[in-house]
Structure 1
Amino acid sequence: MVDLARALIRRRWVIIGTFLVFTLGAAFYAFSQERVYAFTTSIELGEFGPQEYVASASGTQNTIEERILLSVKRAYLKEQDLERMPFDVSVATSEESSFVNLVTQAPLDQQATVAAFHERIYKRLRDEHQSRLTILENESDAKLKNLRASLKAEKRRMEALEGMAVTPNQKAGNGETRTQTQAGEEVRATLTSSDAALTLLLSQLQLNERISEREQRMNEIQRQLREEKTRRSWIKPTRAEDLAIASLSPVGTSRSLILVLGALLGGMLGVFMAFFAEFAARVREVETG
C-alpha cells in the first residue's frame, strides 16, 4: 500500500492533468449543448353521448402513428425543402383515457414551429373524427324520427282502444234499460241479456289488457326517446385547446450530471494513467539496468 501511495504521489500531475482534461471537456460539452424542452399538445377525443367516444385512445394513437404522422411529415419536408425532420413527434396515451398527447423535444426557440406542426396533425385527426360524428348524427336523427313516428302511432292506437272501451259501456247501459222494460215478458230474453253482459265484460277485460300493453309500449318509446335526445345533445368534437405547451424545465441529461460524470471518469482514468506511467517507468529501468 505504501508503494502504491508513493507511485500515486510521484504521478500526481498525471492524475491531476487527466482529471482536469476530462472535467473541462465535460463542462464544455454540457454548456455547448442547447437546452431542450418537451412540447406537449393534448388532444381530447370527441364524444357522442356520456362516455361514448368517437374513437378509442389506443386506436387514435395507431391512426396518428401509422398514417397521419407520415403524411404530415412528407408534406412538411416538401414545403420546407428539407431532407429530414428537425425534430420528432411521439404519441402517448394511457388506457381508458380520452386524451392523446403529441410530444416533441426541441429547443425553446422552435416552439412556434413545433406548434404549427402539431396543429397540422390535430386538424387531420379532427377532420376524420368530424366525418364519423356526422354519420353518427345522421343515424341519431333517423332514430329520433322513427321513435317519434312510433310514439305518434301508439297514441293513435291508444285513442282507438279508449274509444272502443267507452262504446260497449254505453251499449251495455241501453241494453240493460231495454231488458228491464221487457222483464216480465220472457225468461229467454233475460238469459240472452245475461249472455250479452258476460260477453261485454270479457271484451272490456281484453280491452283493458290491450290498453295497459299500449301504455307500457308508449312509456318504453318515451324512455328511448329521452335517452337518444340526451345522447344527441352530448356531441363534442375532437378538440385541442393549447398547442405545444413547453415543459417548466429542460429535459434530457442535466448539465450538473454531465459535469459529475466527467469528473468521475477523469479521476478514474487519471489513477489508471498514473499506474500505467509508473509501470512503464519501472519497465524502462529494468531494461536499462
Structure 2
Amino acid sequence: MAENNEKLRPPYDDEISLVDLASTFLKRRRFFYMVFFVTLLAGVIYAVLMPQKYEYVSLVKLAERGAGSAIEKPGVVIATLENRWLPEYRAAYDDEHKERMPIKVRFQNPENTNFVRIVAEASEAEVGALREAHSSLIAELEKSQALAVSNLRQSLKAQIDSLSSSIDMLRGTQDAGAAIAAAVEKRLSLESTLKSVQTMETLAIARQGSEPAGPARSLIVLLSGMLGLIAGVFCAFFAEFASLVRAQLSDI
C-alpha cells in the first residue's frame, strides 16, 4: 500500500527541467549577448594593445683549462650572477632611474656544457634597458673570468718552474732516473695544460628571438570568448534569479 502511495505522489513543484532552463536562457538572452560581446571586445582590445615582447639571449662560453673543463664551474658562476652582480646592477639602476628595473633576468646552463645563457623578455620600449643589463653583467663576468685565467696561468707557470728546478737538482744525483722521468712527465703535462687554457668567449649579446614571447594574440581572443560564454550564461540565469527574488519580495 505504501509503495502505491509513493508512485501516486505528484512530482515536486520546484523541479527544473531542461525545457525550463532553455526557456529561462532565451528569456534572458540579452544579458548573455551583452556580457559575451563585452568580454570578447575587451579581450580583442587587450590583444591588440598589448605590447609584443620578445626573448633576448646572451651566450657566453666560460674560460677553460682544457677540453671541456671550465676553470670555474657554471653553477658557481650562475650563483655569483644571481646573488651578487645582478642585485648590484638592479640597485644601481633603481638609484639612477628612480624606478624599478622593468625586466627580469634569468640565467641558464645548458646541460653538459660550459655555456651560460643570460635570458630576459622585453618589449620594444624596454630593449635599451635590457641590452644595458646584459652588457653590464657580461662585463663583470669577463673581469672575473680574466682574473681566473690569470691566476691559473701564474699557478701553472710556478709549478713548471718548480719542477724545472727539481729536475736540474736531480740530474746531479745518482739513481734519480725514475724521479727525473716522473718530474719531466709532470712538467710536460702542466705545459700542455698551460697551452690549452682558453679565455672566456662572448658568442652573443641580447640576441632577439624569432617568435614573440608569451601567449599569442589569437589565444587571448579565444580565451576571452570562452570566458564570455561562461560569464554570459551565468549572468543570464542570475538575472532571472534576481527577477524572481524581487517579485517575491514585492508580494511580502
TM-score class, shorter-chain normalisation, is 0.7 to 0.9
Measured in 2, the distance between the counterparts of 1:31 and 1:132 equals: 49
Aligned to 1:11: 28
Query: Deviation at 1:56?
Result: 1.2
Q: Deviations over 1:159-202 (max 9, x none)?
A: xx5xxxxxxxxxxxxxxxxxxxxxxxxxxxxxxxxxxxxxxxxx
Q: Which secondary structure does the structure 2 equivalent of 1:102 belong to?
A: strand
Runs of 5+ in structure 2 lacking a partner?
Answer: 1-17
For residue 239 of structure 1, what is the amino acid of its counterpart? Answer: E
Aligned to 1:217: 179
Measured in 1, the distance between the counterparts of 2:161 and 2:249 equals: 106
Contact 1:50/1:231 (CA < 8 Å) preserved in 2? Answer: no
The two structures have a TM-score, normalised by structure 2, of 0.84
Pick closer, same or farther for the CA change 1:112–1:83 going to 2, 3 Å. closer
Aligned to 1:85: 101
Query: Deviation at 1:285?
Result: 4.3
The two structures have a TM-score, normalised by structure 1, of 0.74
Higher alpha-carbon Rg: 1
**Larger fraction in helix:** 1
Aligned to 1:277: 239
Q: Which secondary structure does the structure 1 equivalent of 2:136 belong to?
A: helix
Q: Deviations over 1:14-48 (max 9, x none)?
A: 11111101011111111111011111112221112
> Which of 209, 214, 222 lines up with 1:260 in the alignment?
222
RMSD after superposition: 2.1
Query: Deviation at 1:136?
Result: 1.4
Q: Percent identity among equivalent residues?
A: 26
Contact 1:43/1:100 (CA < 8 Å) preserved in 2? Answer: yes
Aligned to 2:52: 35
Contact 1:57/1:96 (CA < 8 Å) preserved in 2? Answer: no
Query: Deviation at 1:282?
Result: 3.0
Q: Which secondary structure does the structure 2 equivalent of 1:250 belong to?
A: strand
Residues 64-79 of structure 1: matches in 2 within 5 Å?
64-79=81-96
Q: Deviations over 1:240-289 (max 9, x none)?
A: 12101112211112222211221111111111111122223334444566
Runs of 5+ in structure 1 lacking a partner?
Answer: 162-209
